[in-house]
Every structure is written in structure tokens, then in C-alpha cells.
Amino acid sequence: MKNPRSHVFRDSHQDIATARQIPDTPQTRSPAYRLAFADNDFLCREELRPVRLQLELLKCDMAMVEAGIKSTVVLFGGARIPAPENADTARTPMLRDLSKYYEEARRFAQMVTKLSVAKGGTENVICTGGGPGVMEAGNRGAAEAGGISIGLNIVLPHEQAPNAYVTPELTFNFHYFAIRKMHFLMRAGAIVVFPGGFGTLDEMFEALTLIQTKRMKPVPFLLFGRKFWETVINWQALADAGTISAEDLELFQFVETAEDAIAAIERSLTNA
């Protein structure tokens, strides 16, 4: 009996190779003659945006399925927070002080990954934005623990290259912020947020809004560094104003160390 997934038609790669061997004529040089799926000019047209959105959703998701990734622990945090050994090069005294959270992110990722590897390595896989700072720390800790990790890069005006610690086969690059955000949360079993800037705040509030509005199931949601977060956001004022409910303040909790975070996640899962 034939494998139902076997191909009875010529595959796309064969036809691309064949199309390159045809005679060079005005007709074959015409953009109209290019195979649609191999025509970058066509695929980048404005009208093809829905197709490109679908491709970004599919490519990453298919790779995750093929790698057997069942769940992730997502780390958000600032790209500008240096490793402790580079703290003296920080652009501000505050960033220098925040370098301790690079180390906590690295230690937290190590601890999560060791637990993951002990259970097969496909659950609670560390997932970051794949860039520098806290993101690098998360991927670094996972690599040092002997596990895999995910990096979801995005093309920026000043290119953000993936850090050296992301598992190469799980290093992705996105054009659409919306699709990238979906991939951060589709398999998230816990969300951990370190000090950061606009990008970190955006990711944090979007995830909190999805949980608040019950568009996403509740997961352990941890903010590293109470002093930082209570300085930049007056959480209680939001509740006092009535723009959020008092119970919305229970959607997240503050932690200071990797050990605190592991304990908080374990408590949350036990009480779920």
C-alpha cells in the first residue's frame, strides 16, 4: 500500500530546477513567466500580504511540531541589559545595576532547562526574542544546561542578529510583529518578564490583556524586579482608577531570583 503522503506529481523543487534550464528568450525572461511560488517580486506584492502572514505562521509552527516542542517558558526582557562582566560598558548607571537580571535570567533558564531535559527536553523549552541582553541570557542558560531553546527574531531597521546561544534549527526570523507575538504565546506554559523597554512593555501588556480578557488561559506570569516594575508602572493607580479591576493585579506576581521564580511556577501549577 502506498504511503498516503507520498507524492504522485513532480515536486516544486524539480520544476524550479527545470525552469532554470529553458532557453533564454524574451518570453522566458518576462516576469510573467516565472513560477508564482518562486517569484519574489510577486510574493512581495501588497496583495499577497495575507499569503505572507500565513507563511510566517506556518513555517515556525511546522518547525516546532517537527522538533516535538510541546510547551515553552517565555522570557521577555531588555536587549540593552548587559551581562555582569560587561556592566562597566552600560550606557547608564541604571542599566549597569540591572545587569544582575541578566545573571538571574541565565540561571533561571538553566534551572528550567535541566528540569525539561530530565523529562525528555520537549516541554518547558526556553523561548526568547533571540536577540541580545536578557534574551541572550535565556538562550545562554538553556545551552549551558545542555538543552535546546527557541529564538524569535524580527527584522528591524538596524538588523537584530540572533545571539550565539539559540538552537540553530529553532532560530526564526519574522517580518510581522503580530505573527511573532502569536508564536511567543501559542505554546507558553509560563511567562517571565525582566526589566526592559518599549518592546518588553508591549509584549508584557499584550499577554496580560489576553489573559485578562480570557482570550488565553491563565499561566504563571512573573515579573522580575519589583522595584523596577513599581517605579515604571503605578499598578495600584490603575486599579484605584477603575481602569483595571483589583483582581487583575493577581494575574502576575513579583520575583527577585531564579529560585523565587521556579518556586512561584511550581506553586501556580500545583494550585491550578
Asked if 134 and 105 count as a contact pair (C-beta separation under 8 A), the reply is: yes
Domain borders along the chain are 71-271
pLDDT for 269 equals 78
pLDDT for 1 equals 45
**Intervals of the chain under pLDDT 70:** 1-7, 159, 272
Q: Which of 154, 148, 191 is nearest to 168 (CA)?
A: 148
What amino acid occupies position 32?
A
**Predicted confidence (pLDDT) per residue in 133-149, tens digit:** 999 999 999 999 999 99
pLDDT for 134 equals 97
Domain 71-271 has CATH 3.40.50.450: yes
**Predicted confidence (pLDDT) per residue in 179-202, tens digit:** 999 999 999 999 999 999 999 999
pLDDT for 7 equals 67
pLDDT for 159 equals 60
pLDDT for 241 equals 98
